[in-house]
Amino acid sequence: MGERVVVALGGNAILQPGQRGTSSEQMANVHKTVSQIVRMIEAGYDVALTHGNGPQVGALLIQNELGSSHVPAMPMDYCGAESQGFIGYMFSQCLSNAMAEHGVSGRNPVCVVTRVEVDPEDIAFKKPTKPVGPFYTEEVARNKMDEKGETWIEDAGRGWRRVVPSPDPKGIVERDVIRHLVKDGFIVVASGGGGIPVIRDKKGNYAGVEAVIDKDLAGEKLAQELDADIFVILTDVPNVAINYNSPHQKWLEKVSVQELEDLKALGHFKAGSMGPKVEAALRFVKNGGQRAIISSLDHALEALSGNAGTQITR
């Protein structure tokens, strides 16, 4: 085995803007994505994967809502588990086929439906901020708040949307299983969508909670748990930028932890977009990782070689 790499894939790896989200569309996107992953494996890297699931969970919540008069609707932790299963199936299927096409043998893919522990006292539970599911009218939103005690917000004139807590990941529950699988040469897909958020009660028992963990922060935690050498966040832009989308925009190439922290303190990275990715990259290197990378899917192998993307080092 070569260097161990955890790759966190963005939403564009599974669903492209403007697509309806059919199974065939998503499978075709994943097939294109895994061609990049197989290139990494052929280059000698030991790869584990994690991914987002926002659109998929959103679709499941709509399906639950529309079907609730016929079958019971499932809570968010169940929807997260369901999305991990079918997205993991797509990655496993496409990886098996792509590796066969490339003549790569002995590296079987496997999906682990993953729970991620969070602190029940996390301040996020007192201030939900993460929008989930579809948009509704104000009347529907206020009825939901009255009936179920949920938190809803008006979202930039587009309608009302439910918001849930986004607590910080504290640990991967299935860490030992994933470690054994990675050590034995499996290509593991784990912690999808940030993992299924769970808490422990006073007796030590686990319970799922209505929350969403940021997928990049959970990916960093997975990389820590696997003692990865490199943590790669693949998104839809080639590099991290400062003064993004302005006449003074500048792409960052090689940057130290201190330099990136200084830029973050100046407010360059927004919470709803690049902010969590930058924070995840900083955490990984500060916690002992050799290198973190933020780059685009199309330049994944080049970024691993140090010739593309934003390279964050100590």
Given a cut of 90, whether residue 210 has pLDDT beyond it is: yes
Task: Give the confidence band of 237 by pLDDT, cuts at 50, 70, 90.
Answer: very high
CA angle 263, 268, 269 (to 5 degrees): 105
Given a cut of 70, whether residue 183 has pLDDT beyond it is: yes
Query: What per-residue confidence (pLDDT) applies to 229?
Result: 98
pLDDT tens digits, 19-78: 999 999 999 999 999 999 999 999 999 999 999 999 999 999 999 989 999 999 999 999
Kindly report the CATH class assigned to 1-8+11-116+173-228. Answer: alpha beta
Q: What is the pTM of this model?
A: 0.94
Give yes or no on whether 1-8+11-116+173-228 and 229-314 have one common fold: yes
Query: What per-residue confidence (pLDDT) applies to 11?
Result: 82
Average pLDDT over all residues of the chain: 95
Mean pLDDT of 271-300: 95
Task: Give the confidence band of 292 by pLDDT, cuts at 50, 70, 90.
Answer: very high
Given a cut of 70, whether residue 1 has pLDDT beyond it is: no
Mean pLDDT of 81-107: 96
pLDDT tens digits, 113-168: 999 999 999 999 999 999 888 888 999 999 989 998 899 999 878 899 999 999 99
For the chain, percent of residues with pLDDT exceeding 90: 88
For the chain, percent of residues with pLDDT exceeding 70: 100
pLDDT tens digits, 219-229: 999 999 999 99
Q: What is the full DSSP assignment across the chain?
A: ---EEEEEE-GGGT--TT----HHHHHHHHHHHHHHHHHHHHTT-EEEEEE--HHHHHHHHHHHHHHTTTSPPPPHHHHHHHHHHHHHHHHHHHHHHHHHHHT--S--EEEE--EEEE-TT-GGGGS--EEEEEEE-HHHHHHHHHHH--EEEE-TTS-EEEEE--PPEEEETTHHHHHHHHHTT-EEEESGGG-EEEEE-TTS-EEE-S----HHHHHHHHHHHTT-SEEEEEESSSS-EESTTSTT-EE--EEEHHHHHHHHHTT-S-TTTTHHHHHHHHHHHHTT-SEEEEEEGGGHHHHHTTSSSEEEE-
Mean pLDDT of 232-249: 94
229-314: which CATH topology?
Carbamate kinase (3.40.1160)
In this structure, are residues 193 and 84 in contact, taking their beta carbons and an 8 Å threshold? yes
- Residues belonging to the active site: 11-12, 130, 215, 277
Query: What per-residue confidence (pLDDT) applies to 17?
Result: 87
Domain residues of the chain, as ranges?
1-8+11-116+173-228, 229-314
Give the separation between CA 250 and CA 168, rounded to whole angstroms: 30
Query: What per-residue confidence (pLDDT) applies to 294?
Result: 98
Mean pLDDT of 165-177: 97
